[in-house]
């Protein structure tokens, strides 16, 4: 088997497969020969991703599901655990969104939905699908977190906290599973060109993003899949993002706070330092 078709005969499930980074992850996996199980709400967009995957001569099955709705999420989990004859080779928890706004004014349903989609769904999917991978002695869990998980992000506090949860959960899980053959990869993209910001009702021009490079969804997807297949525990796509991430994780908290204030100054009228 050529290296480019190294996932021939393997099945991967990708959430948030209808657009953006998730769609590109599906296509990258399909190019490597993986069969795909695709999850998102938008049936038409999901079917378009599936058709693009099938062009690479792999099978692609769609599971239109709103992961914010407990009944739909639980029905998906039941279907995946009861009906599948064999373990998935990979689970990619990529679906996620943010509702931009002052915490004190966020409506309760937006808070519940962010926690449900960004945090609870990945955790419950992993809990349901990992045992079969462990029994098979191989597999990949990939969570798409964010660099937001390492810094204060005013007006995105719930979103950033859900991503910080994934960063923490994955480092514990990777250690817990170290001798099982199952690899855990936490992907922390920086700013990426997708519909994410428009859908979050967030105008990037109202931020001072000097020093924050913007990457393409395709490059993020490639780095994520290559990192996962190489068994890397953490993937930060893009060289400049890796430098920034190093600063965010190792500089004094006062530096991180100042950076967050500078980024938000135009919104908050806050002083730059
Ligand atoms: N773009 C960035 O700058 C950036 C940076 C760091 C991290 N990330 C993370 O990357 C991941 C992908 O984001 P993206 O940039 O590709 O954004 P995107 O283009 O808005 O895609 C988000 C995906 O999540 C799915 N999704 C959202 N709510 C869902 C729900 N209730 N149920 C099921 N699926 C749902 C969407 O599908 P439907 O709408 O069809 O349901 C879509 O496929 C997210 O976890 C995001 O937090 C993005």
Name the percent of the chain lying above pLDDT 70. 96
Reference 166, options 135, 131, 141, 140; nearest CA is 141
What integer is the mean pLDDT of 111-118? 98
Q: How far apart are CA 191 and CA 53, in angstroms?
A: 25
Encoded tokens for 76: 């998906």
Confidence band of 270 (pLDDT split at 50, 70, 90): very low
The answer on pLDDT for 265 being more than 80 is no
The answer on pLDDT for 273 being more than 50 is no
What integer is the mean pLDDT of 94-122? 96
Reference 196, options 22, 31, 71; nearest CA is 22
What integer is the mean pLDDT of 260-269? 77
Question: Full-prediction pTM beyond 0.75?
Answer: yes
Q: What is the pLDDT of residues 16-32, one digit of tens each?
A: 999 999 999 999 999 99
Rounded to the nearest whole angstrom, what is the distance from the C-alpha of residue 154 to the centroid of ligand 1? 20
What integer is the mean pLDDT of 238-258? 91
What integer is the mean pLDDT of 216-245? 97
Q: What is the pLDDT of residues 44-65, one digit of tens each?
A: 999 999 999 999 999 999 999 9
Q: How far apart are CA 140 and CA 155, in angstroms?
A: 33
Phi-psi region of 155 (alpha: psi -120 to 50; beta: other; left: phi over 0): left
- With a Cβ cut-off of 6 Å, ligand 1 is lined by 16-22, 40-42, 45, 65-68, 94-97, 117, 144, 146, 189, 191-192, 194-196, 199, 217
Q: Which residues are catalytic?
A: 159
Q: How far does CA 47 lie from the centroid of its chain?
A: 20
pLDDT at 2: 52
pLDDT at 140: 98
The answer on pLDDT for 271 being more than 50 is no
Q: What is the mean pLDDT of the chain?
A: 93
């Amino acid at each position: 088997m050529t290296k480019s078709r190294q996932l021939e005969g393997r099945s991967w499930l990708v959430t948030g497969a209808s657009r953006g980074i998730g769609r590109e992850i599906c296509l990258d996996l399909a190019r490597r020969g993986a069969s795909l199980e695709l999850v998102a709400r938008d049936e038409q967009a999901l079917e378009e991703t599936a058709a693009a995957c099938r062009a690479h001569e792999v099978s692609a099955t769609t599971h239109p599901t709103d992961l914010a709705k407990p009944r739909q999420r639980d029905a998906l989990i039941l279907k995946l655990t009861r009906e599948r004859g064999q373990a998935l080779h990979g689970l990619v928890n990529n679906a996620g969104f943010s509702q931009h706004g002052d915490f004190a004014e966020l409506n309760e349903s937006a808070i519940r939905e962010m926690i449900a989609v960004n945090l609870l769904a990945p955790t419950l999917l992993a809990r349901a699908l990992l045992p079969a991978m462990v029994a098979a002695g191989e597999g990949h869990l990939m969570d798409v977190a964010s660099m937001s998980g390492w810094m204060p992000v005013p007006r995105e506090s719930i979103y950033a906290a859900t991503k910080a949860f994934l960063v923490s959960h994955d480092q514990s899980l990777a250690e817990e599973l170290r001798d099982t053959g199952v690899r855990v990869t936490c992907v922390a993209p920086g700013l990426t060109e997708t519909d994410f910001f428009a859908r979050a009702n967030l105008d990037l021009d109202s931020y001072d993003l000097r020093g924050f490079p913007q990457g393409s969804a395709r490059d993020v997807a490639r780095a994520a899949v290559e990192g996962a297949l190489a068994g890397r525990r953490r993937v930060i796509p893009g060289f400049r993002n890796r430098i920034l991430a190093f600063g965010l994780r190792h500089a004094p908290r006062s530096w991180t706070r100042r950076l967050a204030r500078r980024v938000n100054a135009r919104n908050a009228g806050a002083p730059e330092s």
